[in-house]
Amino acid sequence: MSKLIPIPDELSQPFWDAINERRLIVQQCADCPTLQYPPRPTCQDCGSGTLGWKEVEGKGHILSFFVVYDGRYQVRIPDQPYNVAIVTLDEEPLINFYANLPGTPVKEVPIGAPVELIFEEVAPGQLIHDWKLVE
């Protein structure tokens, strides 16, 4: 399965560095309790520009999903149909991630089920985070 390769920028470089170390981190505001993902230049709640990173456990639940039968990304066309789910993070349910749920049959996505973090290499030295059902 070919996937698009994320190209880090200045803001996201620490995040992708952590992913390549098989760690999931999210931004943590220094001035309020907010955790946020994807990273932004400022805190979306208090506006603070003082943001650090916090490693999270990598446990979540499936919020919803759809199935790509005819998508626009050329590198993924051979994989069609495939699931795309939304996973909420247990440590902060306002944070959500996309997931392809490898191993889960197409359309047979159990909404509300627990999932756990996995990593997949999409290019030499570049991992991405994905999620799979907890067995």
Partner 1 sequence: MTTDFTGEYTGYRRDKPGLGLWPHQGKVAIVGWGMSPVDRRWDGVSMDKTYGAYGMLAIQQALDDAGVSRGEVDGMLVCPETGAGATGGSSADWGPYRQYFEPPYDTEYGLSRLNAKWIIDNMPGFDNVKFAPSNVPSIGEQMGMTAQAVADGHCEVALLVYGMNNFEGRYRHGGENASPEARGNRQWNAPWSSGDGLQLTGAITIQQYCARYGGTFEELIAPAVINEHRNGLMHSWGFYTLHGESGLTFEDYVNARPVLWPCRIWDCDRPVNAVGAFLFATAERAKDMKQQPLWVLNHNGGQGGTVRSSQETLDESEEARAQVASMVYEGSGLHAEDVDIFNPYDGYSFFLPLTLEGFQWHGVKKGESQAFFNGDISVEGPHPFTPGGGNLGVGRTRTAMYIDSIEQLRGQAGDRQVTIKNGRPETAICAFAPARSAAYIVLSNATP
> Interface residues with partner 1 (CB under 8 A)?
2-9, 12, 36-38, 44, 63-76, 81-82, 84, 86, 94-100, 107, 111, 122, 128, 130
Instruction: Give the nearest distance from C-beta 76 to partner 1 in angstroms.
Output: 5
Instruction: Give the nearest distance from C-beta 38 to partner 1 in angstroms.
Output: 4
Handedness of CA 88, 118, 5, 24 (dihedral sign): positive
Question: CB-wise, 4 or 32, nearer to partner 1?
Answer: 4
CB burial of 18-52 (b: ≥16 within 10 Å; e: otherwise) equals bbeeebbbbbbbeeeebbbbebeeebeeeeeeebe
Instruction: Give the nearest distance from C-beta 116 to partner 1 in angstroms.
Output: 16
